[in-house]
Structures are given as C-alpha cells and as structure tokens.
Structure 1
Amino acid sequence: MGAKSHKCDSYRDPVVKAFRQRQDLSPFARCRRSRSAPRSGPSNRTGSTTAARPSCRTKASAAVRIGAARLLRFHAFARCAECETRAHQVCKRNQVERKLVMGFEVRALDGSFGREIVGLDISAAIAPDVAVALKQVWLDHGVLVFRGIGTSPEVQLELSRCFGELEPHPIEKFRLDGYPELILLTNDGGPVGPVYDFAGVATTQRIPWHTDLAFTTTPNAGALLRMVRKVETGGQTGWLDTAAAYDELDQATKDEIADLEAVYLFRAGLEEMRFNRPDGKRLSPRKDNYPDFPPVANPLVWTHPETGRKVLNLSTLNIEYIVGQRDEQGDALIRRLIDHALQPRFQYVHEWENNDMVLWDNRRTMHAAFGHPVDQVRVVHRTTIKGNVAMGRVMPEAAEVGAGA
C-alpha cells in the first residue's frame, strides 16, 4: 500500500487552502501528534519507491520566501484539522507565537496585553512583507515592545515607517535637530512641562491616563518611543487596553453608552482635570502660551477604523462631561467607566532600559507617564504616526464650560 496521508494535510480555512495550492506550498504547520514523516511506499517492480506525501512536520522553504504578507492577514489561519496546531505555532506553555515565515518571534508580555517582538533584524532595511507582518501584530495586540534595538534615530525612523505616515511636531522647537520627524522629549536644560510636588518629591513628566490628541476630532494613529537616557528613579510608562475594557462591560452599560458623546478639552495642567486627578501640588508657574484648541465632542464608544473593534473612548486627562448629561448622573457614569477601565488587568507598565522602543496604537489604548524626579535627566525620542480618520466634531459652544471649570 502507498503512504497514508495525515489529516494535517487538509486545512479548515478554504481561502488559505486555495492560496497554498496556488503557490504549491507544502504544509508548514508542525503537528504535535505526528512526530515523524510518513515512510515511502514499498518498492515496485523497477526497484523505485512510491513518493510519500510530506508530513505536517514539513516546513516548505517556499513559505519563507513568498506569501507571508497575505497569510498573516489571517491571524488564526490554517489550523491542523487533527491536532488544532496553528500554522504560526502558538506555544501554550510559554506563550510564544513563532512567525515561522517572518524570522521574528512574538512573545506575550507580563501585563494583560501587548506583545514583545524578538529577533527582528534591523541591520538593513525592513522588507515590505516583514513590515506588513509587524503592522498586523500591532493591530492585533495594541502595544509592541522592542527591547534594546533602538540604537539610533535611523533605526527608530525605519521601524516607525512600517506602521504609517509620520507626522512632524507642529512646533519646530520640539523636533530633534536634523530629524524633523523625531520629537525630542527631555528635561535636560530644565523641565519643559509643569513640576508638581508628589509626596515631597519635585516631579516632572507626570501625565495621567490619556489618549493623544483626544481634545481634537482626529487623534493620531500611534507613536513609537525610544529611550535614549533613562532615569534611575521612576520614569515608567503604562498602557491600557481600552478595547478589552469595552469588551468586558456588561451589556446594560454597553447599551447605555452606545450613542453617547463626551466633551474633551485641552489641559495645560493636572489641576484642570475633572476626573482621576492625582494629588499633587503645582510648583512651577503656569504658562498660557499654548495653542487655542476648541472643545470637541467625541463618542464614548468608537469603532477602530482598521480592526472594527469597539473601543471605550475615555481620556481621563481631557474628558469634561457627557453631552446632554451635564449633571451628577452623567459625572457618575464617567467615574464608573473610568474605575472599570483603570483596573490593573487591562494594563501593561514598561520598566525602561536604554535603547528600548515601545509602539502603541493610540486608537485603542490610553497611556500614562508616571513621572520622575526633576533633578534626574531623561531623554526620549518619539515618532508620531499620523491619524486620518475623524471621530467627532468641534463644539465651540462648550468653550465656556472649560473656562469656568
């Protein structure tokens, strides 16, 4: 009898099966139950043997070269029909997803969401198919950590461009000299933001949970931070998964907030916050030479423009009140949503080392800078990925609310 084919040679996803057949790929998902390849069939009269079909352990070299970008659109594609092994090898023991066709690994972080990218070769230009794969992982997981590979502005820019068009800072003095797409964030030469007293420590760069540009109608798509010089005390950055926070709301709350809008305002200091305001005494004088940002009304629930996921749109730094519920009932709803979203199970907090880079999807996360002592110098470079989808509307009639708050 000829070799018996294994069930792993057929895949449940017809799109991927058709794609594999068109490219003449051997199966590339290693099956846990079939540890050895089928043996060749018995000899025929001429002394030759019948060819055996490749086992599910076979990883076709063609899969390394072609089709990677197309395949990675189907994040849970090509499951083995017998043993449920995914084609991109999810290891349940150590939570390592091995992207066999891309040459990098995707590892779970210590927090509840986000992923670490390991083994990415950035010694040369990033190939287009690798860029597509990285972007898909970013959209799937919201936060990506690249430890120790951010060795230069050029590396940061090369990686950043995988995720979209970069947006220079509108104020030229914040741009890194010679690199208009990089933003320099540092207190070298003195703090550029407010200084507060927290528990007797003069602290700078303390920014509570927020979404970048939540006080505009079009938030940016994301950003990539690179730690150039870390501080010895504090300086952590946290991210919060607002998509997961929405998913875990009870249905009654989802129905209650489905069509609600909230007003968001630009804040020049923590003392202006209405919700989730940290306890701290301002030490530095106010500077009121900021641009004029009119109030905006944005939805409390937003649909991510690329993934279609529902997101709980709470920027605690900027939210002012619910449109049509400017009363204690509306404020109580905001506090309840914030208390739910800020649970540690939705968070990832990064302890920085020099040359770390962290990328986040600004449309499905909030982030917070925990601050550091003002006498310690911290240097960070940032790129911003431009947003192209508006979520809300300008609401100038709400301006007097912020002025009187």
Structure 2
Amino acid sequence: MPLHIRPLTPALGAQVLDIDLRTPLSSSQHHALEQALLEHQVLFFRDQSLAPGDHARFAAHFGDLHVHPVYPHVPGLPEITVLDTQSLDTRDTATWHTDVTFLATPAMGAVLAARQLPPCGGDTLWASGIAAYGALSPQLRQLLDGLSATHDISKHFPQAIEGVITAQYMARLKAAQVQNPPVSHPVVRTHPVSGRKALFVNEGFTTRIDQLPVAESDALLRFLFAHATRPEFTLRWRWQTGDVAFWDNRATQHYAVDDYLPQRRVMHRAAILGDKPF
C-alpha cells in the first residue's frame, strides 16, 4: 500500500500513517520515506512499538549509524543514545541546535523514539533552515553564501552542574573535546540531494563566523539564530509514548522543551552519519 503522508505546516513536518516501523521496509516504502523526508524535512510516526534493536535497524536503512561520544547508550547497542533526565542533565538539548555539527561530517538525519514521558510538557520544536534562508533578502543571502562558521563541541555540553553531571560524563566530554577540535562549515549549506540551500548555523554549536571580526560575527549570529527560529519556520510536536520522529539534520534544527522537570522523560535516538557540508 502507498504511504499516507499528511503535511503538518507549510514550512516543514508531516505525519506518516499506516506503517509499522518494526517490519523491514520494502523498496517502495524506503523510496517514499526518502522523498517525504526531502520534501517535509521531519516525519512523525504515531503508535510505534520499537524495541531498541528495531530502532537501530530502521535508522540503518538510511545509512551507517553514529556513536555519540558523550551521551550514554542502550547496553549492547552503542548506536542508540539514551536521553534520560533521571540520570543525565539534558538542558543542553533545551537550546536550538543541529545534531553533532562539531563533526567534520555531521549527521544526515536522526530517528528519535519516545520511551517515557512526563504527564505533560516535554514537546520538541523543529525549524526549517530552508524556509529561513528563503525568507532572507537577496542582499543578505549573497553575503552569507560566501561565509563559513566555526562549530565547537565545548559550547554545547554542560561542563558542571551540581548533582547532575557525573565523573564518567566529564571524562567522556573531555575525551570528546580532544577528539573533536572545532571545525568550520558553510553558513549556508547546499543540500546534497535536493540542491536546496539552508541556513546551517545553530546556537548550540556555532561560535563565530570565520571571516568577520568578533563584534560583527556576534551581531550577525544573534540575528541569524533569532531569524532561523521564527514561528513561521517551525513546528511543535506534542509527544505520545511510542511516537517516532525522523528528521533531516542537513536542513533543520530542533529544541527540546524542558518545562517538565522534575518529572522524568526518556528518549532514544539513532543518528545517521552524513557527509561534509558544502
């Protein structure tokens, strides 16, 4: 049966109906999901019952999986990152960010599954870098097309939060900082499949625009961070247990709202390796 795909906002987002992600994808389903991801940038699936192994197998349909250098993972499945507020401070995800842009080849996408949710709250927002870029003036687009920006792992992850950050976390973070020195990416990224252009700076990892003095870089980044997350470029997803989100990390950023603490929220994520931005 053809997939039923229901768009959610003009800028981005669609819900995919009538599919069980535990079963192997047919070639037609695989192609349909790839095309839907290109068009809508983030896809949502309700009422899934993905075990961690199912989760990894589904994500691996779209590429090799990344092992996160800082966050814990499911025992025996290093590709499945565990985001559990009972054991880890996740306030670093409560900022607009694109996943692992501290890598020379950031993730092309990610698959996030809701395992345990608070009674209310804990929504996630996504923003379209394609829509944000398209809304800029031609003059500003021309300026940005020639610029690059530095992305740094040290900006994103908490260094020390009393009672939350563990010695193991700090050891992993320090090792990750050594293994992942700052890298530069284009401020405007060209999507390697669709050819569409998207803003590719994010408040979580981007520290400066390389070609500008610090004061000018700071001012321009403040504008771009605010512009990229204007309401008309975003959607907000209200999670239900069993939901799965699959997003194109090359063209979006997201924000996990931490309005539910001290209630517990547990999410599992698989990130799919990508290529060098251009």
Q: TM-score, normalised by structure 1?
A: 0.61
1:23-102 correspondence runs (5 A): 102=1
Provide the residue aligned with 1:248 in structure 2. Answer: 135
Per-residue deviation, 1:328:
2.3
* Alpha-carbon distance in 1 for matches of 2:195, 2:75: 38
CA distance in 2, matches of 1:313, 1:124: 34
Within the candidate set 328, 339, 348, 2:215 is matched to 328
Q: Contact 2:22–2:50 at 8 Å: present in 1 too?
A: no
User: For 1:104-148, what per-residue CA distance to the aligned partner results, in whole angstroms no more than 9, with x for missing partners?
Assistant: 201011573111101124463221221121111112211000011
Q: Output aligned runs, 1:228-267, within 5 Å.
A: 228-267=115-154
Q: Deviations over 1:124-175 (max 9, x none)?
A: 322122112111111221100001123433442343233222233346x822
User: What SS does the corresponding residue of 2:153 show, helix, strand or coil?
Assistant: coil
- 2:67 paired residue number: 168
* Separation in structure 2 between the aligned mates of residue 348 and residue 391 of structure 1, nearest angstrom: 25
What is the CA-CA distance between 1:261 and the residue it aligns to?
1.2
> Who is 1:152 aligned against?
51
Q: How many residues align?
A: 269
Q: Using a 3 Å threshold, how does the CA distance of structure 1 residues 253 and 193 change in structure 2: closer, same or farther?
A: same
Cα distance between partner residues in 2 of 1:345 and 1:116 = 18
5+ residue gaps, structure 1: 1-101, 195-203, 273-281, 393-405
Query: Relative to structure 1, is the Cα distance of residues 271 and 126 closer, same or farther in structure 2, using a 3 angstrom cutoff?
Result: closer
Distance 2:19 2:115 in 1: 20
Per chain length, whose mean CA-contact separation is higher, i.e. which structure has more relative contact order (CA < 8 Å, sep 6+)?
2
Aligned-partner Cα distance in 2 for 1:243–1:149: 29
Q: Which residue of 1 aligns with 2:186?
A: 299
1:80 paired residue number: none
The answer to whether structure 1 residue 391 and structure 2 residue 264 are counterparts is no
The answer to whether the 8 A contact 2:101-2:107 is kept is no
Structure 2: which 5+ runs fail to align?
Answer: none
CA contact (8 A) 1:205 1:370 kept: no
Alpha-carbon shift at residue 366 of structure 1 (Å)? 0.6
Report Cα offsets for 1:43-82 as digits up to 9, x if no partner.
Answer: xxxxxxxxxxxxxxxxxxxxxxxxxxxxxxxxxxxxxxxx
* Amino acid paired to 2:243: D
Aligned to 1:138: 37
Q: How far off is 1:243 after superposition?
A: 1.0
Specify the alignment match of 1:343 in structure 2. 230
Residue type matched to 2:263 in 1? Q
Partner of 2:79: 181
> Distance in 2 between the 1:330 and 1:124 partners?
48
Residues 160 and 223 (structure 1 numbering): CA distance in 2 closer, same or farther, change over 3 Å? same
Change in CA separation of 1:391 and 1:319 when aligned onto 2, cut-off 3 Å: same
Alpha-carbon contact 1:267-1:317 (below 8 Å) kept: no
Out of 351, 365, 377, the residue aligned to residue 252 of structure 2 is 365
The separation in 1 between residues aligned to 2:40 and 2:214, in whole angstroms, is: 36
- The CA deviation string for residues 218-263 of structure 1, in whole angstroms up to 9 with x for no partner, is 1011110010111124211111100111111110101111111112
Q: How far apart in 2 are the matches of 1:377 and 1:285?
A: 14
**CA pair 154-324 structure 1, distance change in 2 beyond 3 A:** closer
Cα drift, residue 376 of structure 1? 1.5
Judge conservation of contact 2:105–2:273 (CA < 8 Å) in 1: no
Name the aligned partner's letter for residue 73 of structure 2.
R
User: In the alignment, is the contact (CA less than 8 A) between 1:109 and 1:115 conserved in 2?
Assistant: yes
CA contact (8 A) 1:210 1:368 kept: yes
What is the percentage of aligned positions where both structures have the same residue? 30
Q: Note if contact 1:106-1:116 (Cα within 8 Å) is conserved in structure 2.
A: yes
Deviations 1:325-350 (A, max 9, x none): 12322322222222221101111111
Change (3 A) 1:386 1:238: same
Asked if the contact 2:7/2:40 (under 8 Å) is kept, the reply is no
After superposition, the Cα gap between the structure-2 partners of 1:379 and 1:111, relative to the gap in structure 1 and judged at 3 Å, is: farther
Distance 2:271 2:104 in 1: 16
Q: Which amino acid aligns with 1:119?
A: D
C-alpha change, 1:169 and 1:256, in structure 2 (3 Å) is: closer
Would you say the 8 A contact 1:126–1:158 is kept in 2?
no
Paired position in structure 2 for 1:207: 94
Give, in whole Å, the separation in 2 of the partners of 1:269 and 1:375: 22
Structural RMSD (CA): 2.5
Show the counterpart of 1:79: none
- Taking structure 1 as reference, are residues 112 and 283 closer, same or farther at Cα in structure 2, changes over 3 Å only? farther
Give, as a single letter, the amino acid of the residue that structure 2 aligns with 1:329.
Answer: E
